Amino acid sequence: MKRIFAVAGIATILSMAACTEKGPLIDFGGKTGKADTTYVQTSDTVQDRNVVIEEFTGVSCSNCPKGHATIASIQAKYPGRIVAIGLYEKGNGNTDPNPITKQDLRTDDASAICNVIYGSVSQLPGAGIDRVVAGAPPSIQLDRSIWPTQADARIAVPAPVSMYINSQYNAASRVVTVTVRSVFTQAFNKGVRLTVGVVEDSIIEAQEDNNPLPVHYDTIYVQNHVLRATISQATGDAFLSSVANKEVGRVYQRTYTYTLPAAWVDAHCKIYAFVQTDDASSKEILQAVETKLY
């Protein structure tokens, strides 16, 4: 089956033909990437921003269900515009499996994001929102109390990149082929990286909870937006390194293939992708897109 998703509006097919430059196929590395291409087209739709919330959470964190509820309320306020990613890192007692969990939700990819991007996680629940600094004292790791207002602030910031994602899934082989197309709608002169990953919803797994007290284990707790794996490198794949100044209309397209492990419920999986700044002073996410697996 084939599914095509655009963040806002309908992609203009004619824009693919209205090119002023056609670049060669380029391989920029990454886990499972195929050939890439870049070129310049005349224009593209300027999209509304989607906001990425990377949630630091764990099944042995009794306060984390409050974080899950806060994200659900933000998603309800902005339907289809919040890309939530649950990061269950290793090496943190609050993320360790509790005595009655049946599966380990921790991943090396989540650990890499927490350690490399966020410089180790200081509290659970916590979150990064578009990987920008906020709060007092200023931090890239945000307390739950400011997630809603920070989401409000970020949703209003114009996105300098438009993104489109095409997901094709073969249920028999469990192989998904994902093509991500990014188009700069504002001139941009910093480095950029592309991250693509898989999250799974509706995982029934025991969760430590303190509401209501006393602390207890909810054995039928529904875990959502759990990061299963990144298809790109965990911290993103660099692209357009040879194009210092990304002009308006600059297109970058990359295709990945990935085989889903048998334990994942494919009907509950989603593919997400986002472009971030790759700069010593900023890892800001510029735009994101998400679609069902098929």
Kindly give the residue spans of alpha helices, DSSP state H, lying in the chain.
Answer: 64-77, 108-112, 147-155
Q: What average pLDDT does the chain have?
A: 89
Q: Kindly report, residue by residue over 108-166, the tens digit of the pLDDT.
A: 999 999 999 999 898 999 999 999 999 999 999 999 999 999 999 999 999 999 999 99
DSSP one-letter code for 45: P
Q: Kindly report, residue by residue over 167-207, the tens digit of the pLDDT.
A: 999 999 999 999 999 999 999 999 999 999 999 999 999 99
pLDDT at 23: 38
Residue 262 reports pLDDT greater than 90? yes
pLDDT at 17: 33
pTM of structure: 0.89
pLDDT at 197: 98
**Residue matched to tokens 């593919």:** 271
pLDDT at 31: 52
Residues 161/247, Cβ–Cβ less than 8 Å: no
pLDDT band (50, 70, 90) for residue 44: confident
Q: Kindly report, residue by residue over 231-244, the tens digit of the pLDDT.
A: 999 999 999 998 99
Question: What are 223's strand-pairing partners?
Answer: 203
Residues 129/70, Cβ–Cβ less than 8 Å: no
pLDDT at 32: 55
How far is Cα 238 from Cα 273, in angstroms, rounded to an integer?
Answer: 13
CATH number belonging to the domain at 2-292, selected among 3.30.2010.10, 3.40.50.880, 3.40.640.10, 2.60.40.10: 2.60.40.10
Instruction: For residue 39, give the amino acid letter.
Output: Y
pLDDT band (50, 70, 90) for residue 25: very low
